[in-house]
Amino acid sequence: MIHHLSLPVTDIKRSAAFYDAALGALGYKRTVNYREVVGWGSIDNGDIFSIRLRPKEKIMSGSGFHLAFIGRTRAAIDKFHRAALRHGGKDNGGSGLNPEYGPDYYAAFVFDPDGYRMEAVISPHSHK
Amino acid sequence: MHLLNHLSFAVADLARSAAFYDATLATLGYRRVCAADSFVGWGLVDDQDAFAIKLRPQGVTIPGDGFHVAFSAPSRQAVQEFYRAALQHGGRDNGGAGLHPEYGANYFAAFVFDPDGYRIEAVISIDLRQ
């Protein structure tokens, strides 16, 4: 349903390093690489997720915004969580089963360097 | 291989935004799959929302032009219907509906602002000759 998405970030190098590590853990790679725009996707598929440098952006605050990336295995979800914490992210709920969202809902929850709420989750799932 | 599983963002008026997304996302083939007092979600399967809005009446920080989200459209006609529905249900134009060869030879998209001012898009970019 979501074809692609871009997010404003205040420090492109910091965020690009974070997403290289976190999305790399899920098997995605950097596919777009400009001074003010960096994007990730899969081979020959263009960018599905990108960040754009907006140094003065007022970051969407509160818990309304969150974005979940697709992981393939529980090991990849755990790796995403570890990579995020090592590359400028903060924990927002650990990595593991979240039965309140579904019996097999395995996900990791982090804040990115700007404070955006990010998740990696095995798809398909039941989510509310 | 896709990358994004689901997205949510905050809105200031749930009824207003839900009406907007009911109208616009229906043109692309998506339907409301969950709803409560503080959120509404759309997708293809009950209780599996790929996109959701969450009520934050105390105030919403709307991102600038670095943010946009594009929804997948099943046809060019659907993109045009999305555009018309958006303008009829509280959205504003942000670039019309049509071909954008600067983004790809077959990039057909519509660009609008939702009722809060979020930049949203509907797009189909497949080669229709295939």
Inside any domain, residue B51:
yes
Cβ of B72 and A3 within 8 Å?
yes
Range(s) of the domain holding residue B14: 7-57+67-124
- Residue A22, chain B, CB below 8 Å: the answer is no
- Measured between CA atoms, how close is B50 to chain A, in angstroms? 7
- Residue B63, chain A, CB below 8 Å: the answer is yes
Cβ of A54 and B65 within 8 Å?
yes
pLDDT of residue A45: 58
CATH of residue B34's domain is 3.10.180.10
Domain count within chain B: 1
- Residue B21, chain A, CB below 8 Å: the answer is no
CA angle B45, B9, A96 (to 5 degrees): 65
- Measured between CA atoms, how close is A6 to chain B, in angstroms? 5
Question: In chain B, which residues have their Cβ closer than 8 Å to the Cβ of A63?
Answer: 10, 54
Inside any domain, residue B62:
no
Cβ–Cβ under 8 Å, residues B110 and B93? no
pLDDT exceeds 90 at position B82: yes
Between A124 and B17, the more confident residue is: B17
Instruction: Read off the pLDDT of each residue in A15-37 and give the average, rounded to a whole number.
Output: 96
pLDDT exceeds 50 at position A126: no
- Measured between CA atoms, how close is A71 to chain B, in angstroms? 8
Provide the whole-model pTM. Answer: 0.94
Inside any domain, residue B96:
yes
pLDDT exceeds 80 at position B128: no
- Residue A16, chain B, CB below 8 Å: the answer is no
Cβ of B66 and A1 within 8 Å?
no
- Residue A5, chain B, CB below 8 Å: the answer is yes
- pLDDT-derived band at A128, boundaries 50, 70, 90: very low
User: How many angstroms separate the first and last alpha carbons of chain B?
Assistant: 20
pLDDT of residue B121: 98
Task: Sketch the domain layout of chain A as residue ranges.
Answer: 5-57+66-122
- Residue A125, chain B, CB below 8 Å: the answer is yes
Cβ neighbours of residue A111 closer than 8 Å, sequence gap 6 or more: A89, A90, A91, A92, A117, A118
What residue in B sits closest to A118 (Cα-Cα)?
B7
User: pLDDT tens-digit profile of B83-96?
Assistant: 999 999 999 999 99
Please give the full DSSP string across chain B, using - where no structure is assigned.
Answer: ---EEEEEEEES-HHHHHHHHHHHHHTTT-EEEEE-SSEEEEEEETTEEEEEEEE-TT------TT-EEEEE-SSHHHHHHHHHHHHHTT-EEEEEEEE-TTT-TT-EEEEEE-TT--EEEEEE-S-TT-
- Specify the CATH number for A5-57+66-122; select among 3.40.50.150, 3.10.180.10, 3.40.50.300, 1.20.120.530: 3.10.180.10
User: pLDDT tens-digit profile of B43-52?
Assistant: 999 988 999 9
Cβ of B41 and A128 within 8 Å?
yes
Percentage above 90 pLDDT, chain A: 84
Cβ–Cβ under 8 Å, residues A108 and A84? yes
Inside any domain, residue B101:
yes
